[in-house]
A and B are shown apart, each in its own frame.
Chain A
C-alpha cells in the first residue's frame, strides 16, 4: 500500500506540473497506476467489487483534481470502474448459474437452508440487475450511491454464502481481482495500440494525389498518414505549424524523413491554402459526448475554414479520448492558459507587463490558451479504433465504454470534498 501511495503522489505531482504531455501518455500511465492500485487493494471477504470501486475512485478523484483539463485521466478512471463492474457482473451471473445448480443438487438440506439459496439468488439477481441497468435517464436521475447499493446486495449474498462456501468465496475474490487486472492490461494494450487500429483505416480515406492539411502534431495523425504512404498512396501534406508550441515542425520533420511530400505553412496561411486542400485530418485532445472536440488551439479556425470550403474535417481519436461528459462553455472551462513567455519576450516587454494604470491593473494581458473547442457541426467524421463515426453517434459509442453510474463521478468528487 505505501508504495502505491508514493506512486500516486508522484503521478499527481507530474500531472499538476503538467509534466506529462499528450492524452495517450497520460491515459496509459493512469491505467498503469490504477492497475497497481487494484493489485495492492486488500480484498475483504465480502463485497470485493465495492472495495475495488472505492479504492479506484479515491485515487481517481485525486488524479482528476490534479489536472481537470486532462480529460483522459477521468476517462481511464471511468473505464477502470466500468471494468470492475463488468467483471463483477460476469462473476455474479456465473455465480447465479452456479447457485441455481447447487439449489437443484442440495435436496437433503433443512428448511431454512432451503430458503437461503432462493434469497441469495434473488439478491444476486438484484445485484445483476443493478449492474445490468442500461444507461437510462432514470439511472442518471436516481443517482443512487452505487457504493451503497452494491455493498448491500452483495453483502446479503455474501453473508448467505459466506458460512457455507468460504473456499469458493476466496477463489472468487481472487478471481475478481485477477479478472480486473487482466482487463486493465487489455485496456493499456488498447491505448498503446490504438494508433495502429486507426492507421489501418487510412487507405480507405486517403486517395491518390490528395492534398491533406493538418495542424500541430499528433502521433495518431503521423501514423495515419504514414500508413497510407506505406500503401503506396502518394499525396501531399500541408502542415500548419501550430503556434505557440510549433509542434508542426516536429510533424513535418517526421513526415519528411518518412518520405512524404510536406509543405510547412504558418497558421495564418490556413485559410489561404484550404481552398486547395482535399481533406483536413487532425488529432484531438478529447472528444466530448456531444461530438464536440477539445483540440489543440487553432483547430476551430481550421474547422471553420474547412467548412467554408466544404473540405471534410476528420478527427482521429483513440477510444481513451472519448469523454462521457457534455461540455459546457468549453472554451473557458475546459481550457488552460500557458505561459505568456511563449508569445512575448519578457525581457522586451517587461516594462509593459507590470506597470499599472493608476489602479494597479496591468495594461498588457497576454492570452495563450492551450485548447480550442470545435463544435460537432464542424466535424465531418471521427475515426476511432472501432471505425468511423458521425459526431452525432458519439454519445452512443461512449455508452459502450462507460457505465452510467460513473458519469457522475466528478460531481460526486466535488460534493464529497
Chain B
C-alpha cells in the first residue's frame, strides 16, 4: 500500500520535474495516466482487475515519457478517475486553483514531494484516523490479506502518505463491484461531458465526482485533523529529518565486496552460514569475485536445516532454491525473496529491550547475507532489499508491532505487484507496438518479459517469426522455445555462434536484461552483448526490455569488474553430448581453468532503445529514470 501511495504523492511534482511535458503540464498530467490504463484495460475489463492495475497506472504516470499522440485518448481516462478519483482531483487543484475546502490536501502533498520531513503536521493525524478503515478494505481487494492484519496496516501506513490515496481506496472498497462499475459509467459520462467543455471544466467536473465519492473519508479526515496527535507528527518529523542525510550517504553506491581482499574475505567467512570451499583453479582475472566449489554446499545446508536458528525456514528454503538453481531469472528470484521475507516478517516478534526498526533491519540483513552466500544477489534484488530496508527504517516509532509488520507486508506485496508484475504488463503493451506483421524477431536466452511480449503479440494476431538464440551452459532458450512452439509461434532455434549467419534476416532484436546501469550499459545474461553487437553490425534495431526497478545508478564499462561466476563444471561437460569428454581427466590440472561467466555488459552503443515501464527511452536517458525512480520509491 505504501509504495502506491507514495508513488502518487511524489507523482505530481514529478510530472513537472521530468520536463517532457513542457507545453501544457497540467492538462497532460491529467491525460497521461490513462495511457497506462489503456493497454491494461482491454484484456481485463473486470472491475477487480482494474483495481489491481490502478496502482501501477498511477505510480507510473509521473516519469513516463510518452509519445504525444497518446494524450488524445481520453476515453480511458475515466477509468483512472474511478480507481483514483482524488488523483484527478489533485491535478485539477494544481491546474486551476486550490479550492478552499481542499487546502489540506494541497498542503499535505506538495511538501511531500520534497522529502516528507516538511509534511504539515496537521494533515498527519487526520490521515491516520481515516486510513484505518480505508486500508482494511484496500487490503481485501488489492492484496487479499486477511482483514485482521490489514487493520493494523491501516495504522502503520500513516506516516508515508497523505490523504488522497486513502480516500481513493475508501471509494474502491466501499463500493461493490457492480456499484463501482456503475460509478465508472457515470464518471465516464461526466468526464466526456466535462471534456467537451474544456480542461478547466473537466477538472471541476471530476472534482465534483470525486468529492462526492470521497465524502466519507474526507469528512473523517477533516474531523480527525482537528484532534491531531502532536507526538506522532514530531516523531514523524524526526524520521523525516534523518532520512535525507542517510540517503545522501547512500547516494554513491557501496563498493562491492572484493574477494581478493583477504582480510575481508576472512571476516566474511567467519560469519558465513554456508561453508564454501574455494574452487580449485580460480581464474586469475576474477579473483575479486567469489569462486567457490559448486554442489558441495547443498547437502551440507540441508543437514543444517534444524540447526540454523536465526534463519527463517522460508528464507532458508529460498536460499536452497537459489543454490540449486530451481529459481532463476531476476524477477522470479526477487519475488521469491520477497515472499520469503514476508513470511519471516509475519512470524517476527521483536525481542524484549529491542526496537523493531533496528532489530528487524538486522534480521533482514542476516537473511540477505545468507542469500548472498547461496548465490550472489542480482542488482534488482539489491534494489528491492534497499526498498524494504528503507521502509523499515521509515516506520514510525509509534506503531505497534503488529501494525508495523502488516505495513511492511503490504509494502512487499505492493512492490511485487506494482514493480514487477504490472511493470511487465506495461512493457508488453509498449513493446507490442513495435512488432509488425512479417517481422522476424530475434531473442536471446529466456527473458520472461520478452516471452510475454511475443505471446501477447501472437494473441493479437500479428504474424511474425521468432528466432531463439541460445548458448551453453544453461540452454535456457530451449525452455523458451518449447513454450513458444506450444503456443503456436513459428520459431527458429540456433546457437549464439550462428547469430551472424541468421542476423541478416532479422528485423528486430528483443533482449531481456538483468539490470540497466546508469551509463546505459545493459547488464544481462552472458551472450547478450554478442547478440547486440552482431545486430548492431547488421543494422538491426536492438530493443532491451527491462523493468525500472532493475535500473541501478552504478556504472560499469566491462563485464569483468563485476560479474557472477557459475559452476565451472558445467563448462567441461556438454549436456546431451556425451561424446565430448576431452576434458574428463583434466579438470584438476593446474593449467586448466574453466570460466563460467553468468553476465555480461552490453555497451550502450549497441542498444537502440530500452523499453521500461516508464516508456520507451534511449539508453542515454537511463540516469533520468534512475534518479527519478530512486526519489520516487526508495527515498519516500
Contacts and interface: CB of A to CB of B under 8 A. Distances in A.
A262 B493 contact: no
B219 interface: no
B594 A263 contact: yes
A335 interface: yes
Interface in A340-361: 340, 342-345, 348-349, 352, 357, 361
Given A241-B571, A261-B591, A344-B478, A266 B597 contact: yes
Interface residues of A, number: 58
Nearest to A259: B591
A185 to B, nearest CB: 35
A343 B499 CA distance: 14
Interface string A253-293: 10111011111111111111101100000000000000000
Contacts of A333: none
Interface string B590-622: 011111110111010000000000000000000
A356 to B, nearest CB: 11
Interface in B488-539: 488-502, 504, 526-527, 529-530, 533-534, 537
Contact of B583 (A253, A259, A272, A298): A253
Interface string A362-374: 0111111100100
B472 A241 contact: yes
A297 B530 CA distance: 14
Interface residues of B, number: 60
B591 A260 contact: yes
A246 B580 contact: yes
A264 B594 contact: yes
A267 B527 CA distance: 8
Contact of A301 (B499, B576, B599, B600): B499
Most buried by B among A257, A268, A275, A276: A268
A349 B473 CA distance: 18
Given A269-B526, A301-B533, A372-B501, A343 B494 contact: yes
A266 B526 contact: yes
Contacts of B489: 363
B595 A352 contact: no
B485 A363 contact: yes
A269 B586 contact: no
A15 interface: no
A243 B495 CA distance: 7
A300 interface: yes
A301 B500 contact: yes
A275 B557 CA distance: 10
Given A365-B493, A366-B493, A276 B500 contact: no
B558 interface: yes
Contacts, number: 191
A249 B491 contact: no
A269 B495 contact: no
A308 interface: yes
A76 B460 CA distance: 56
Interface in A225-269: 236, 238, 241-244, 246, 249-250, 252-253, 255-257, 259-269
A249 B583 contact: yes
A266 B473 contact: yes
Contacts of B491: 363-365
Contacts of B486: 352
Contact of A269 (B589, B597, B603): B597
Contact of B574 (A236, A246, A270, A348): A246
A276 B529 CA distance: 16
B280 to A, nearest CB: 14
A76 to B, nearest CB: 27
Interface in B458-497: 470-473, 478, 481-482, 485-486, 488-497
5 contacts: A241-B472, A253-B586, A264-B571, A271-B559, A275-B558
Given A253-B586, A352-B485, A357-B488, 8 more contacts: A256-B589, A259-B591, A266-B526, A269-B559, A271-B529, A344-B493, A345-B576, A372-B500
Interface of B: 283-285, 470-473, 478, 481-482, 485-486, 488-502, 504, 526-527, 529-530, 533-534, 537, 558-560, 563, 571-572, 574, 576-577, 580, 582-583, 586, 589, 591-597, 599-601, 603
Top 7 nearest A-B pairs by Cβ distance?
A268-B527, A298-B497, A272-B559, A272-B600, A268-B471, A300-B500, A271-B529
